[in-house]
Chains A and B, each alone.
Chain A
Amino acid sequence: MNYRALSKTEIGQLEQNGCHAQSWDKVNVKEGFDPSRVKNVDFAGTVKIGDFKKAVTVYDGITKPAGLYKCHIQDCIIHDDAYISDVKYLVNYEIQTDAIINSVFALTVSGESSFGNGTEIEIFNEGGGRALPIFDKLSAQVAYLMVTYRHDGEFIKKLTAVIRKYTDSRKSTTGMIGQNARVLNCGTLRNVWIGEAAVINGAIRLEEGTIASTTHDPTYVGSGVIGKKFIILSGSKVDSSALLAKCFIGQGVQMGKQFSAENSAFFANCEGFHGESCSVFAGPYSVTHHKSTLLIAGMFSFYNAGSGTNQSNHMYKLGPVHQGILERGAKTGSFSYLLWPVRVGAFSAIVGKHYANFDTSDFPFSYITELDGKSTLTPAMNLFTVGTRRDSIKWPNRDRRNDPIKYDLINFDLFSPYIVGKVLRAIQTLHDLYEKASRDREYIIHHGIHIKRLLLKSTGKYYEIVIDIFIGDEVLKCIKELPDDPSIDDIKKRLSPEVGLVDTDWVDAAGLLAPRKVISDFMAEVRDNKLGTVEQLNAALNEIYTSYDLHAWAWCADLIEKRLGKRPNELTAEQLRGIITDWQTSSLKLNNMIIKDAEKEFSMKSRIGFGLDGDDEVAEQDFTAVRGSFDNNKFVRETLADSERIKQIAEHWLNILK
């Protein structure tokens, strides 16, 4: 970019416009500079000014000529058609084209800053030991490995070095206001990097942070926000007096209504309102909306916190050293309480107050309730509740990320090898416990939680439904693309896995489902210096993500062999018919159970409080007017339609396999 010195005439015009400079020699301009666009400005240090031609919309239809008005500008580069007005101090910034800065007390960079990159946050365990350096390309997966694999010292050392190399590269003595960004009505912004198209409107104080916005997915930081040492990624909205201290806000996150967060990371599509978080690893789709909700020292994903949800990580002994995990899809009911350490299995619901330390990670889809002061597990109960089905449908539809670069890798499958592996262990454990339990016992205790002996036998059956559906889904996924009327050989060819079984155990790395061995291989590459940059880390993890279907089918093929004694491509037509028939039966059974659960929402009990001043007939009419009818309910109709689809698919393949 070529800049030139101001001419004497231009300096004269600027002075006539109320401008001053420590040294006009250090104020350079681009060819085409128009002094009439610069008024009442104090210049200090070295300032480079672009060409102002456009008019910009500054507020609700009000346009003003781009230029510099009533501000103190020190050591800045200002590109074409920026609009800067009423800024008390603007120091050490590069302002990109078409950016607007209006009515701001201070926007300054002092000394060298990495703009929040490299800030270590004490996440997951408030007592420390799991420090996560945050940066503006951090994925949930890198964070998960950094936080939970502390036992692998060499891996942590190498991963830290890769991250440190990146965060060091972000250090600068000059900040950035990106193209088309708008900084309006703010207090003090110190050492803050602002990406393109970002809107910062009404923030009170922001310090040491990056707001990594993109034109595809602008980021918004709104009124009353106070943030210190933070990273906010694209498509996120932090608003209405949210308080952030040492926090990472991933893509598509929404936070506001006085939510207060400290030493916490919120990954894709999280939502935080009203409540408080401390040392929280909020994996994708973790949501807390209510006052009096404290999330502390926990790891969550696909999580919904009921009002007043609370945990304790402190037993007044060695400090706040305890931590808890709610695996994907867990939810806590209003005023539920957990005394860490606790580990809750995926897609489980927690109700009541729990003072016992338990581990239900091998019992997904369970209810954890408080019964006479005892923490009690009802295995598989949440499998056929309408809420679980609704959640699994809504998550993929609620991905707010519009940025073409998506850092967090998220598998949405409800029944995956990770979950089905746990289901298999649950069935075995329930069976073993039943065999051992004496019939006169009401409860047995397993891993710290009570289970009613009666349920040990019956709930295993519910889990079997999951296995039938998973195997059928996987088989159908393989053969669905076959042309009409394929031969049994065509079908078998499709059922030959493209990759071998890598590992029977899978992990859920904050949304990414993968065989444990694949994750171990990734970590070995980090240890061996084969992945030396943040971009390489993200690319390698993305490769794992895109190979999910291949690995899932290889895992399923192994399961089929264990159950039927043959590889899928060696199955007889009759065995394949058996798989399709079981899939149909279990899928329909599950749908029926879910519909039955939905029906309760229309029962007499649900009508309590309707038709306040009338009789039963009025109550019925009021209920129908407000809630609609069971038969016309959208979810019910969709589930019934799904059942019809299942029947058609089954009929199609059963005919072919005759």
Chain B
Amino acid sequence: MDNKQIQDRVKKVIANVLKTDVSTISDDANFIFDLGADSMQSMELIAAFEEEFDIEMDEDKALEVQTVSDAVTFISGYFNK
């Protein structure tokens, strides 16, 4: 899976969890500051990424993921091992 495909799916997940339009999510949007996610939604995003990509994200490392681009980089690491 290339990064563009990952990015599209990441944005789709974010739009679904944060109940927002996928077109409003920029490539480097911050979950909290730009998209208004709270702590619980951040947890939900991690769970949603795990389900979407069928991966298990390390708990404390996953909390460092704060932006769309962070998520793409982090998730692509699972596919480029």
Contact = CB atoms under 8 A, between A and B. Distances in A.
Interface string B35-51: 00001100110111011
Interface in A576-633: 589-590, 592-593, 596-597, 600, 603-605
A465 interface: yes
Looking at chain A's contact residues, is the secondary structure mostly helix, strand, loop, or mixed? helix
Nearest to B58: A589
Contact of A452 (B44, B58, B59): B44
A378 B33 contact: no
A461 interface: yes
Contacts of B47: 452, 454-455, 457-459
A5 interface: no
A596 B60 contact: yes
Contacts of B39: 381, 385, 597, 600
Interface string B20-43: 000000000000110000011001
B64 A596 contact: yes
Contacts of B40: 367, 369, 378, 381
Given A378-B40, A381-B40, A455-B43, A589 B60 contact: yes
Interface size class, chain A? 20 to 34
A604 B33 contact: yes
Given A593-B59, A596-B60, 15 more contacts: A367-B40, A381-B39, A452-B44, A454-B47, A457-B47, A457-B51, A458-B46, A458-B50, A462-B59, A465-B59, A592-B60, A593-B60, A600-B39, A604-B33, A605-B33
Given A381-B39, A589-B59, A455 B51 contact: no
A381 B59 CA distance: 12
Interface residues of B, number: 18
24 contacts: A378-B43, A381-B40, A385-B39, A454-B17, A454-B47, A454-B48, A455-B43, A455-B44, A457-B47, A457-B51, A458-B47, A458-B50, A462-B59, A465-B59, A589-B58, A589-B60, A593-B59, A593-B60, A596-B60, A596-B63, A596-B64, A597-B39, A603-B32, A605-B33
Given A381-B39, A604-B33, A605-B32, A454 B44 contact: yes
A271 to B, nearest CB: 28
A352 to B, nearest CB: 12
Interface of B: 17, 32-33, 39-40, 43-44, 46-48, 50-51, 56, 58-60, 63-64
B33 to A, nearest CB: 7
A215 to B, nearest CB: 49
Residue of A455, A459, A597, A600 ringed by the most chain B CB atoms within 10 A: A455
Contacts of A455: 43-44, 47
A173 to B, nearest CB: 62
Given A454-B48, A455-B43, A605-B33, A461 B59 contact: yes
A453 to B, nearest CB: 9
Contacts of A597: 39
Contacts of A596: 60, 63-64
Interface string A500-517: 000000000000000000
Residue of A385, A458, A597, A604 ringed by the most chain B CB atoms within 10 A: A458
A3 to B, nearest CB: 73
A649 B66 CA distance: 33
Residue of B32, B43, B46 ringed by the most chain A CB atoms within 10 A: B43
A461 B56 CA distance: 10
Contacts of A462: 59
Contacts of B64: 596
B63 A593 contact: yes
Nearest to B64: A596
A19 B50 CA distance: 90
Contacts of B33: 604-605
A457 B44 CA distance: 11
A600 B50 CA distance: 24
By Cβ-Cβ distance, the 8 closest A-B pairs, closest first, are: A458-B47, A592-B60, A454-B47, A589-B60, A593-B60, A378-B40, A596-B63, A454-B48
Contacts of A452: 44, 47
Nearest to A376: B40
Residue of A454, A465, A589, A592 ringed by the most chain B CB atoms within 10 A: A454
Contacts of A592: 60
Contacts of B60: 589-590, 592-593, 596
Nearest to A588: B60
Contacts of B51: 454, 457
Nearest to B13: A454
A331 to B, nearest CB: 15
A461 B59 CA distance: 8
A457 B51 CA distance: 9
A597 B32 CA distance: 13
Nearest to B45: A454
A457 B50 contact: yes
Contacts of B59: 461-462, 465, 589, 593
Nearest to A369: B40
A154 B63 CA distance: 53
Nearest to B51: A454
Nearest to A455: B47
